[in-house]
Structure 1
Amino acid sequence: MKNLISSIAILGIAANLLVSDQSIAKSSKIEEFTVVGNEPFWNITVTKEGIVFKLIGEKQQIFPYTAPLPAQGRPIDKVRVYQLQGKGRNILILNKVNDCSDTMSDNKYSYSAIFIMGNQVLEGCAVKK
């Protein structure tokens, strides 16, 4: 419940963000993540080249993104908000937690994740690569 309330608060903050037109420079240090979720099964890979989204049974989508924003007054490692460039206001939010379970395996992850693409909101877990 505590994580749900935190996620809802983060969604409210993220909904008010404006997309910056400054893209990630490929030469800058980028922390890479693997994000997974189920019902439906989906995954995301955060790389220097972009954010790669894959929903099972559909073609993968690659989004360029701006440098992740931290929550106000928090270090970047606590909350990261990625604003994906392209059509719509697509957002990936990674929130550091004690542990996140994908509910399908015994794997534990150190981040919870919310991915918003258009009217679709997906919830999952993430880990640094």
Structure 2
Amino acid sequence: MRLTALAVSALVLSACSQAEEPAPPPPAPGPAPVLAGVDLSKPVRALGTEPFWAVELTGTEMVYSGLDRPEQRAPQPRAVVQGTTATFEGVTGAGASLSILLAATECSDGMSDRTYPLSAIVKIGDETLTGCAASSAAIMSTGESGPVVEKAQPAV
């Protein structure tokens, strides 16, 4: 009986002395992905002509739209940046695969005198579309000619 009590005491003491190690903290988020000066963590728009189409990368969704085409939405994953390209891949609510490849090469849409900082290749279902891309803010603030870049905010 004395041996059993001694064994139980040893087990209890060893269990108490083995403190649990705290779980490692989650990794800190890395810097926002940037491609050709475009912050990919902010809204980005890719667009093309013949046929007219656009994809909005809102930060939470990829929203495809086109002339005479139904709008399709897919959750937006974090950009996978490799060198001078970034990709986003998902599946729309309608079940179509949606893939966006952005490349850090200057691009002209062929319809205006604008130059965009990114070229875009969009694959939706079996269709492949080519066009240009920039931050949504830059597209909205640029006229019909010149480089599509975000305007500097005035100092307050």
Alignment of 1:95-114 (within 5 A): 95-97=103-105, 99-114=106-121
Does residue 49 (structure 1) correspond to residue 60 (structure 2)? The answer is yes
Seq. identity, %:
26
Does residue 79 (structure 1) correspond to residue 85 (structure 2)? The answer is yes
Please tell me the root mean square deviation across aligned C-alpha atoms, in Å: 1.8
Give structure 2 stretches of 5+ with no counterpart.
1-31, 33-39, 137-156
Q: Normalising by structure 2, what TM-score? A: 0.56
2:74 alignment partner, one of 55, 59, 63:
63
> Which residue identity is paired with 2:86?
R
> Which residue identity is paired with 2:73?
I
The number of residue pairs the alignment matches comes to: 96
Provide the rounded CA distance (Å) in 2 between the counterparts of 1:89 and 1:49: 17
1:118 alignment partner, one of 112, 115, 125:
125
What residue in structure 2 maps to residue 24 of structure 1?
A: none
1:92 alignment partner, one of 83, 88, 100:
100
Deviations 1:5-25 (A, max 9, x none): xxxxxxxxxxxxxxxxxxxxx
Q: Normalising by structure 1, what TM-score? A: 0.67
Pick 1 or 2: higher relative contact order, CA cutoff 8 A, min separation 6: 1
Provide the rounded CA distance (Å) in 2 between the counterparts of 1:34 and 1:88: 20
1:31 alignment partner, one of 30, 42, 52:
42
Report if aligned partners of 1:33, 1:45 keep a CA contact under 8 Å in 2.
yes
What residue in structure 2 maps to residue 127 of structure 1?
A: 134
Provide the rounded CA distance (Å) in 1 between the counterparts of 2:96 and 2:71: 17
- How big is the shift at 1:88? 4.2
Provide the rounded CA distance (Å) in 1 between the counterparts of 2:45 and 2:70: 18
- How big is the shift at 1:67? 1.1
> Which residue identity is paired with 2:109?
D
